Structure 1
Amino acid sequence: MNEELMVIEKNNTWQLTDLPKGHKEIDVKWVYKIKVKANGEIDKYKARLVAKGFEQREGYDYEEIFSPVARMETIRLIIALTAQRQWKNSPNGRQAPTAWNKRIDSFLHATGFKKCASDHGSNLKMISDFKHIMMKEFEMTDLGLISYFIGH
């Protein structure tokens, strides 16, 4: 739990603020998960602090809804391209998703990246350099070669 709190602080995705007058705080809870390797061995124990957003009311507690989601078809396509092109390295709210998306978007833009509709290449050095700058800026782990899909 302490590691999760340090990551939240380092990545600046949550901000402690005073509660506006007439509003009640939203409860949070800890969610625990055991991450396992492809062979079934325990890799690490994860703790995630989540807001109980279901207690919020639109127009009163928040004005916008934001949840970037990857479609399953997109994930399958990326995995297939990774296998086909034999890529050796792959880049592993306010509501939390909004805050995280704004944070990473501003970092990538400041680093010189531009949004594009599709991937234009498979330069292994570029992928490796990208992973390095991401791990320098954000608390994250390189899981190595993709060998199984999340939730296998």
Structure 2
Amino acid sequence: MDIEMQSMYDNQVWDLVDLPPNSKAVGSKWILKKKTDMDGNVHTFKARLVAKGFTQTQGIDYEETFSPVAMTKSIRILIAIAAYHDYEIWQMDVKTAFLNGHLNEDVYMVQPEGFVDPKYPDKVCKLKKSIYGLKRASRSWNLHFDEKIIEYGFIKNEDEPCVYMKTSGSTVVFLILYVDDILLIGNHLPVLKDVKSWLSKCFAMKDLGEAAYILGIKIYRDISKQLISLSQSAYIDKVVKRFSMQDAKKGRHMALSLTNLIVLVRIRRLKG
């Protein structure tokens, strides 16, 4: 919680003010969750401060809320292209992504539980940045990211608004955005490094190196054979445990085999 609050202060997310007459303040709450790695093991205990956006009123607290994300099939297609052409696949994560979005409306939020300013206990937070839980949080972040990446020279795919491409001669770089997860795919190391450097200047980023795990999907790569295998074993384990079927070994192995077979067939079809 202390780390989360420090990020709020560092990003100057709000100012403490008196609640204006005829205005209302949305509530706030803490969401606590465990983040797992590609094998399903817990590696981070995460505290996230969110606004109770369900109390917002359309036309008063917010307007448009739609925000696109990359489709899973687009990610699979581009990974298959990377396997065929032997492209690099790198991964980055945006820290506190939604805090990068700017608000166009006046939104007030009650002070977070456990962190009420003792000097101003009756004041509320006037939000300057988007915060998780607000109706427009995802939309504001997406618009800001889109603006920055296009400024760098990327072109947005007309049919897939979260897939971007930048080319120069024989150099090609693809960027895939899924909320705060980013995949960089390309054939020129210096250009890829420049893109990472640019992103790190614009946002607080975490460099995850070569892609190994995205959206619950493990990425196994065999460069010598120009093949990539995608596995959702951790997700399948989670599902079978949810329905108390963890002892059904045969069913799980069949599901895993089918998942990997579909991916390999798609890649081989592309190569053929």
Same fold (TM over 0.5): yes
SS for the counterpart of 2:44 is: strand
**CA separation in 2, counterparts of 1:11 and 1:138?**
11
Give the aligned length: 150
- Out of 129, 137, 153, the residue aligned to residue 96 of structure 1 is 137
Which blocks of at least 5 consecutive residues in structure 1 are unaligned?
Answer: none
Instruction: Pick closer, same or farther for the CA change 1:46–1:85 going to 2, 3 Å.
Output: farther
SS for the counterpart of 2:38 is: coil
Q: CA deviation at 1:126?
A: 1.2
Counterpart mapping for 1:22-33 below 5 A: 22-33=22-33
Between Structure 1 and Structure 2, the one with more strand by share is: 2
Amino acid at match of 1:78: L
Residue 77 of structure 2 corresponds to 77
Matched, 1:42 2:42: yes
**CA separation in 2, counterparts of 1:35 and 1:86?**
31
Moved more, 47-56 or 73-82: 73-82
- Out of 155, 160, 165, the residue aligned to residue 115 of structure 1 is 155
Matched, 1:134 2:134: no
Amino acid at match of 1:103: H
SS for the counterpart of 1:141 is: strand
Contact kept in structure 2, 1:89 and 1:124, CA below 8 Å: no
Which blocks of at least 5 consecutive residues in structure 2 are unaligned?
Answer: 93-100, 104-135, 158-163, 173-185, 217-234, 236-272
Amino acid at match of 1:38: M
Amino acid at match of 1:134: L
Residue 190 of structure 2 corresponds to 125
Instruction: Pick closer, same or farther for the CA change 1:87–1:37 going to 2, 3 Å.
Output: farther
**CA separation in 1, counterparts of 2:36 and 2:195?**
26
**CA separation in 2, counterparts of 1:7 and 1:85?**
40
**CA separation in 2, counterparts of 1:66 and 1:8?**
24
- Out of 116, 134, 143, the residue aligned to residue 208 of structure 2 is 143
Instruction: Pick closer, same or farther for the CA change 1:100–1:2 going to 2, 3 Å.
Output: farther
Identical pairs, percent: 35
Contact kept in structure 1, 2:32 and 2:48, CA below 8 Å: yes
Question: Scaled by the length of structure 2, what TM-score is found?
Answer: 0.45
Contact kept in structure 1, 2:4 and 2:49, CA below 8 Å: yes
Instruction: Pick closer, same or farther for the CA change 1:143–1:23 going to 2, 3 Å.
Output: same
Instruction: Pick closer, same or farther for the CA change 1:8–1:37 going to 2, 3 Å.
Output: same
Instruction: Pick closer, same or farther for the CA change 1:126–1:63 going to 2, 3 Å.
Output: same
Amino acid at match of 1:133: W
Decide which structure has the larger Cα Rg and report it.
2
